[in-house]
Amino acid sequence: MKPAQPETPEPTDAAARRAVAPVVCYPVQTLPRPDMALYRAARETLAPVSEVTVPPREARCFHVPAGHFFRIHCVEGPQVGDLNLWNAQDLNERFYSGKTRALHGTHLSTGDRLWSGFPALRPLATITHDTLDWYGFDAFGGSVHDVIGTRCDPYTNTLLSGEQYHHCCHSNLTRALSAETGLPPARAERLVHDVLNVFMCTGFLRDTGQYFMKQSPVRPGDFLEFFAEQDLLGALSACPGGDCGAEHSSDAAACFPLRVEILCPAPGALAGWNPPEPNGYDGSHGL
């Protein structure tokens, strides 16, 4: 956090230095673009295949074949979901929220992609519909579906409160992945990673830069829809923070289930689409 009373006096040209215009770190003009027209046409043909209900303060896993879609639905009340994604064939290839943030910004919506980590660095999924895309950024600088938070976890909670709480999203995701894969919990925990905060409304305070959350604008009937670019294993936690309007890492908030729906497009609807290849860097690192 920036000190309220800096110890270092301002240089005489401080105003000029601050006035330098920013440059976007990663201009995405050369980023391979999803064929949204193809996805839009395909999503008009979707038929439901299966669904998974995530109970409050728990997580569940789900599988999505490459070329299928999945939706995360708000069903009974405002509820935030913490999403992990893995390449179903290789769980070491998993969602990289930091690079996704660097490429697409702090909050995701339709057309943005969820990228995997190195060395693959390729899309795991593409967002194809977002019923909260009207929200934009509010007067506090808040928006929905962030890749700036991590996931609520028992370690930070113990650090801050001294308490033991076992239904943070990190623990929920660990239990769900362990149950799904048969991996011992300690191994599964190593595969749990920073999330897409589905439906969560977050930002940074302008004066201190602190990460904030506020009551999610999501309502029953809202959903976020993804296209699976690869065979995916997903895990979704219904955060113990509920709508994250007050606190998380406790049983204090009202919590609701979330529903994950897997959908299949009609045969031929994805003609011309191919799963993304691994990244083209040769991996030699100059050696």
Residues at the site binding Zn ion, with contacts judged by CB under 5 A:
82, 152, 169, 239
Least distance from C-beta 177 to Zn ion, angstroms? 15
Residue 61's DSSP bridge partners are 235
Q: Which is nearer to Zn ion, 152 or 260 (CB)?
A: 152
Q: Which is nearer to Zn ion, 125 or 169 (CB)?
A: 169
Least distance from C-beta 205 to Zn ion, angstroms? 20
Distance CA 261, CA 98 (A): 26
Q: Which is nearer to Zn ion, 239 or 260 (CB)?
A: 239
Q: Which of 205, 95, 222 is nearest to 147 (CA)?
A: 95
Least distance from C-beta 81 to Zn ion, angstroms? 9
Q: Which is nearer to Zn ion, 82 or 194 (CB)?
A: 82
Q: Which is nearer to Zn ion, 120 or 169 (CB)?
A: 169
Q: Which is nearer to Zn ion, 59 or 262 (CB)?
A: 59
Least distance from C-beta 93 to Zn ion, angstroms? 23
Least distance from C-beta 235 to Zn ion, angstroms? 12
Least distance from C-beta 255 to Zn ion, angstroms? 10
Q: Which is nearer to Zn ion, 101 or 129 (CB)?
A: 101
Distance CA 43, CA 174 (A): 32
Q: Rounded to the nearest 5°, which phi and psi values hold at 259?
A: -120, 130
**Alpha carbons within 13 A on the beta-carbon side of 161:** 12
Least distance from C-beta 87 to Zn ion, angstroms? 24
Q: Which is nearer to Zn ion, 67 or 81 (CB)?
A: 81
Least distance from C-beta 216 to Zn ion, angstroms? 12
